[in-house]
Chain A
Amino acid sequence: SQQGEEDPQALSIQEGENATMNCSYKTSINNLQWYRQNSGRGLVHLILIRSNEREKHSGRLRVTLDTSKKSSSLLITASRAADTASYFCATANSGYSTLTFGKGTMLLVSP
């Protein structure tokens, strides 16, 4: 069963704009992770945020976590055409547990 659900399903923006993707989940979590998948490739880990953290940054990526609302957002600033990919959130319910992936947001960044 899907734990995380991303919103929107698809997003189309211009280079230089910011892209925001959201993830909602249903049960309590230990951590939440974001992954990127380029067409025809495997998933690549982007960032992990623990349940006791509220915000995390990595380069042009900013992730927030609101455990009271059971939601997370991924912000990509100053997007580039190379950011075109599908983005997945994944949740771990407890330590050492497996990840449950959402169905992803397809991001298209046009030059």
Chain B
Amino acid sequence: DAGVIQSPRHEVTEMGQEVTLRCKPISGHDYLFWYRQTMMRGLELLIYFNNNVPIDDSGMPEDRFSAKMPNASFSTLKIQPSEPRDSAVYFCASGIAGTSGDYEQYFGPGTRLTVT
């Protein structure tokens, strides 16, 4: 398996532009997570899906952020309009729950976003 795939790996954009990050989870995994990592705040969970349905988006910073999962093999995280404080590394992770409800998460390589 290729693992979790994210694109692009790097994105540099100007403030006010729309940014779309993409993720392909591992086939068969029923959970998908979007995280943001910064030096100051560490790794923050933004939103997660179970069987393509958004379960908890309480970590999404504001209405400028939106995420979709139209099918089991694709998800997007969109920022519109982008701001310099959105600069971070964005990770997508997927997982499959075991019978006891625990699961390990498999992370993609991340997208490093720089908003100037």
Interface residues of A, Cβ cutoff 8 Å to B: 2, 30-31, 33, 35, 41-45, 48, 50, 88, 92, 94-104
Contact = CB atoms under 8 A, between A and B. Distances in A.
B22 to A, nearest CB: 15
Interface residues of B, number: 20
B105 A48 contact: no
A45 B106 contact: yes
Contacts of B106: 45
29 contacts: A2-B42, A30-B101, A35-B107, A41-B109, A41-B110, A42-B4, A42-B91, A42-B108, A42-B109, A42-B110, A43-B105, A43-B107, A44-B107, A45-B105, A45-B106, A48-B102, A48-B104, A50-B100, A50-B102, A92-B102, A94-B101, A95-B97, A96-B101, A97-B101, A98-B33, A98-B45, A99-B105, A101-B42, A101-B43
B56 interface: yes
A24 B52 CA distance: 33
Contacts of B97: 95-96
B42 A42 contact: no
Contacts of B91: 42-43
Given A88-B43, A101-B43, A102-B42, A33 B109 contact: no
